[in-house]
C-alpha cells in the first residue's frame, strides 16, 4: 500500500473509477429533467385537446351561420334615415309603452311583438320570458316590410310571411349586449339580422364579468359588415350563446332583428288552468289569512253557550214539573227523567 502511495483501499478504488462521481451528480439532473419533460408533455397534450375541442365547436357554430351582403351603401343610407325617424318618434313619446326599452348606450324598439327579458322578468332565468299581450307594442312599420323584409324574401333568406316580430337595436360606441340565446320557447328559427351604420362583430361562447366589465375570448369571432345579413340556425342559434362586446362597437351601430314568434309562446295575460285540488293532510293546515282578534276565543265561547242552553232547558223542565197538578198520574209517568 505504501509503495503505491495509497494509505486506504477506498482511495485506490476511487482513483481507479473517477467517472462515478460525475455519474452521481448527473443522475438527479437527468431524473428532474425527465419529470419536467413529462409534465410539459402532459400540459401540451391538454392544451392541444382543448384547442381541438374549441376548433370543433367553432366549426359547429359556422355550420349554423349564413351570411350575405344584400344592401348597398345607398340602400343602407335610406334604411338608416328611417331608423333615425324611429328614434326621433321614440324620443317624443309617440310609441306605445312597451315599444321602447332604453338602456345605457343601447335602445331597443319592438314592433309586432315584444317580450319581457332581463330585469323585467318576475322570475330570473332561462324560460321565464313572456310575450306582452297583443297590442302592447306598435305594428311593424311599412318601411321595414318594403325596404328590408321583401328584399330578404327575394334573396331566399326568409320565407314569405315568416316575420311577425322586428326589433331595432341602436348602439352607441361602447354599447353591448351580454351573452344570451334568443328564447327557444318564444321564437322559431332562423334568426335574421341586418347590420347598419358601421361594421362590428358578433361573438359566440363568451363569458361576461362586471365591475369593471370584462369579456372572455370567444369560441368564434364573426365580423358583421354594414349592409350584411346574418342568419342563425341549428347549433349557432340554440346550443351556444352570442353577444356583442363593448370593444366591437367603435361607432354608432344599429341592427334590425327579424323573427317569428311561436304559436304556443306564453304571454303575460295567459292564465293556465289549475288542476282540481286533491284532498290531503295539507288541506287541514291553517290558512295564511289574517285572523280576527277574537278568533282564538270562539271555540270556548261556543262551548259556554251550549252549556248555558243545556242548563236553561233543565231548569225549565224542573219548573214545569213543580207546577203540575196532583192526580196527573199518567202525565207524571212520562217525565223526561225516564228517558
In sequence order, which residues have a C-beta less than 8 Å from that of residue 9 and are 6 or more positions away? 1
Annotated catalytic residue: which of 40, 109, 115, 235? Answer: 115
Sign of the CA dihedral with 141 first, then 146, 148, and 153 last: positive
Closest alpha carbon to 50 in 178, 214, 217: 217
Residues pairing with 115 in the sheet: 131
According to DSSP, residue 64 is labeled T
**Where would I find the beta strands (DSSP E) of the chain?**
65-69, 100-103, 106-111, 165-171, 177-180, 191-196, 200-204, 208-209, 214-215, 220-224, 228-232, 242-244, 253-259
In whole angstroms, what is the distance from residue 196 CA to residue 170 CA?
A: 9
DSSP 8-state code for residue 8: S
User: Does the annotation count 115 as an active-site position?
Assistant: yes
- How many helices (H) and strands (E) would you count in the chain? 8, 13
| Positive or negative: CA dihedral 191, 197, 201, 206 | negative
User: Residue 246 and residue 171: Cα distance in Å, rounded?
Assistant: 10
C-alpha 173: how far from chain center: 26
- 76 φ, ψ (degrees, to nearest 5): -60, -45
Nine-digit cell string for 312: 236553561
What is the C-alpha separation between 241 and 237, in angstroms, rounded?
A: 8
Chain CA centroid to CA 226, Å? 29
Pairing of strands 200-204, 220-224: antiparallel
Catalytic residues: 115
Amino acid at each position: 500500500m505504501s509503495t503505491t502511495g495509497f494509505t486506504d483501499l477506498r482511495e485506490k478504488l476511487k482513483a481507479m473509477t473517477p467517472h462515478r462521481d460525475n455519474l452521481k451528480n448527473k443522475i438527479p439532473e437527468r431524473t428532474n429533467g425527465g419529470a419536467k419533460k413529462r409534465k410539459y408533455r402532459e400540459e401540451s397534450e391538454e392544451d392541444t385537446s382543448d384547442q381541438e375541442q374549441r376548433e370543433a365547436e367553432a366549426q359547429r357554430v359556422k355550420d349554423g351561420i349564413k351570411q350575405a351582403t344584400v344592401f348597398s351603401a345607398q340602400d343602407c343610407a335610406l334604411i338608416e334615415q328611417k331608423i333615425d325617424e324611429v328614434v326621433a318618434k321614440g324620443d317624443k313619446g309617440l310609441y306605445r309603452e312597451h315599444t321602447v326599452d332604453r338602456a345605457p348606450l343601447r335602445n331597443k324598439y319592438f314592433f309586432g311583438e315584444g317580450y319581457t327579458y332581463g330585469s323585467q322578468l318576475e322570475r330570473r332565468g332561462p324560460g321565464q320570458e313572456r310575450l306582452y299581450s297583443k297590442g302592447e307594442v306598435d305594428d311593424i312599420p311599412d318601411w321595414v316590410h318594403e325596404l328590408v323584409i321583401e328584399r330578404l324574401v327575394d334573396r331566399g333568406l326568409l320565407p314569405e310571411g315568416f316575420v311577425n316580430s322586428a326589433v331595432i337595436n341602436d348602439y352607441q360606441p361602447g354599447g353591448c349586449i351580454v351573452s344570451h340565446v334568443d328564447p327557444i320557447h318564444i321564437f322559431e328559427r332562423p334568426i335574421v339580422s341586418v347590420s347598419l351604420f358601421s361594421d362590428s362583430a358578433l361573438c359566440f361562447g363568451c363569458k361576461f364579468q362586471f365591475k369593471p366589465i370584462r369579456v372572455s375570448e370567444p369560441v368564434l369571432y364573426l365580423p358583421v359588415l354594414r349592409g350584411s345579413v346574418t342568419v342563425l340556425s341549428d347549433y349557432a342559434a340554440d346550443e351556444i350563446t352570442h353577444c356583442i362586446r363593448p370593444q366591437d362597437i367603435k361607432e354608432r351601430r344599429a341592427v334590425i332583428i327579424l323573427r317569428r314568434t311561436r304559436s304556443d309562446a306564453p304571454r303575460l295575460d295567459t292564465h293556465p288552468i289549475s288542476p282540481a285540488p286533491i284532498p290531503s293532510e295539507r288541506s287541514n293546515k291553517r290558512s295564511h289569512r289574517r285572523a280576527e282578534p277574537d278568533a282564538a276565543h270562539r271555540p270556548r265561547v261556543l262551548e259556554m253557550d251550549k252549556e248555558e242552553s243545556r242548563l236553561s232547558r233543565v231548569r225549565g223542565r224542573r219548573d214545569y214539573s213543580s207546577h203540575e197538578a196532583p192526580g196527573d198520574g199518567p202525565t207524571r209517568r212520562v217525565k223526561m227523567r225516564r228517558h
